[in-house]
């Protein structure tokens, strides 16, 4: 764990639960994400220093705590500039927003733990980032304005745009913010050129076409599951229970929050597509499938 591993001629990664990419420019490096904690940042900085390198800048792919938990420590101890895109800048500067967004109000105490609440850090817009041989790829869906990073040696860091087959099998419902954007991102990834691809929570891949398609299939499967469950009008919590039962998930406050936020995104998508609709019944908001749902494209 936390070993430095090579990817291409000038690219590496720190092997840890949320992999940290490294792009080498002579004796300086650009980090892609900063790990989940101060401890992971310390280990990363040691691995980099042992090679005689210094950290020049840090690119944040998205602002989830397991990707930015170590960024403040890295920035404070190296002077590196930190970059992110759009809303990810705001969520990095004001990390309490993550729990508030997931919960839809003031976050409960579990959402104020270090698993969700990273130390806030100053950040610059990715539009200000300029480095020869390094380009930014928009990969929204999993998060508001998630990005990937493509390097001239053929390495592509794809962040959390792709869940591994093991994750799809084990967890069933992976966290998403925008289902439509996510499906569009997966189609983009199928045609993306590269020699090696690194998802943040998977091993390096020589090709990601098949994995991208499996993520598409799982996303559409969840859509069909929701529509099927809504043959009978259900409240949101009843629908959530149906999804938990279908995918053999075990309810906890954390899972209720994460899967609940994801399910709301699916509900929004399917409502936009005309496949479900809300109904008010005795002051209860319920959801039901629509007559129009058959034959409508999901994407």
Look at 67-71, 249-253, 293-297 and tell me which has the smallest mean pLDDT: 293-297
Structure confidence by residue, pLDDT tens digits, 1-19: 889 999 999 999 999 999 9
Whether 78 and 54 have beta carbons less than 8 Å apart is answered as yes
pLDDT at 297 over 70: no
**Does the pLDDT of residue 171 top 90, yes or no?**
no
Q: Are 283 and 272 in contact (CB under 8 A)?
A: no
pLDDT at 292 over 60: no
Region class of 53: left (phi > 0), else alpha (psi between -120 and 50), else beta: beta
191 CB-near residues (< 8 Å, 6+ apart):
none
Domain spans in the chain, listed from the N-terminal domain onward: 3-160, 219-293
**What CATH architecture is 3-160?**
4-Layer Sandwich (3.60)
Q: Is the pLDDT of residue 180 over 90?
A: yes
Question: How large a percentage of the chain has pLDDT more than 70?
Answer: 97
Bridge partners (DSSP) listed for residue 285? 280
CA of residue 17 relative to chain centroid, distance: 13
pLDDT at 37 over 70: yes
Q: Which pairing describes strands 284-289 and 276-281: parallel, antiparallel, or unpaired?
A: antiparallel
- What are the tens digits of pLDDT across the range 87-105? 999 999 999 999 999 999 9
DSSP readout, 280-296?
Answer: EETTEEEEEE-GGGTT-
C-alpha–C-alpha distance, residues 179 and 268, integer Å = 9
- Note the CATH number of domain 219-293: 1.10.10.10
Encode pLDDT of 261-274 as tens digits.
999 999 999 999 99
pLDDT over 90 percentage in the chain: 95
């Amino acid at each position: 764990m936390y070993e430095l591993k090579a990817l291409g001629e000038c690219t590496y990664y720190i092997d840890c639960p949320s992999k940290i990419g490294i792009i080498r420019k002579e004796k300086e490096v650009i980090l892609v994400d900063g790990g989940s904690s101060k401890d992971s940042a310390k280990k990363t900085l040691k691995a980099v220093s042992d090679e005689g390198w210094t950290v020049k800048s840090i690119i944040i792919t998205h602002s989830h705590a397991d990707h930015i938990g170590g960024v403040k420590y890295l920035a404070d101890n190296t002077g590196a500039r930190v970059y992110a895109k759009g809303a990810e800048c705001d969520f990095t500067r004001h990390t309490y927003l993550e729990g508030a967004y997931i919960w839809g109000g003031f976050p409960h105490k579990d959402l104020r733990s270090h698993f969700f609440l990273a130390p806030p850090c100053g950040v610059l817009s990715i539009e200000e980032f300029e480095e020869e041989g390094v380009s930014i790829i928009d990969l929204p869906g999993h998060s508001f304005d998630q990005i990937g990073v493509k390097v001239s040696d053929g390495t592509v860091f794809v962040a959390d745009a792709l869940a591994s087959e093991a994750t799809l099998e084990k967890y069933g419902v992976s966290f998403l913010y925008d289902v439509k954007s996510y499906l569009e991102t997966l189609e983009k990834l199928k045609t993306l050129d590269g020699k090696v691809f690194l998802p943040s929570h998977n091993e390096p891949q020589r090709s990601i076409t098949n994995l991208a398609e499996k993520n598409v299939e799982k996303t559409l499967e969840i859509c069909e599951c929701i529509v099927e469950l809504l043959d009978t009008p259900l409240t949101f919590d009843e629908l959530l229970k149906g999804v938990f039962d279908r995918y053999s998930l075990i309810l906890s406050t954390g899972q209720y929050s994460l899967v609940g936020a994801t399910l709301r995104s699916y509900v929004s998508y399917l409502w936009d597509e005309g496949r479900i609709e809300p109904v008010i019944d005795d002051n209860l908001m319920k959801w039901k499938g629509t007559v129009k749902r058959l034959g409508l494209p999901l994407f």
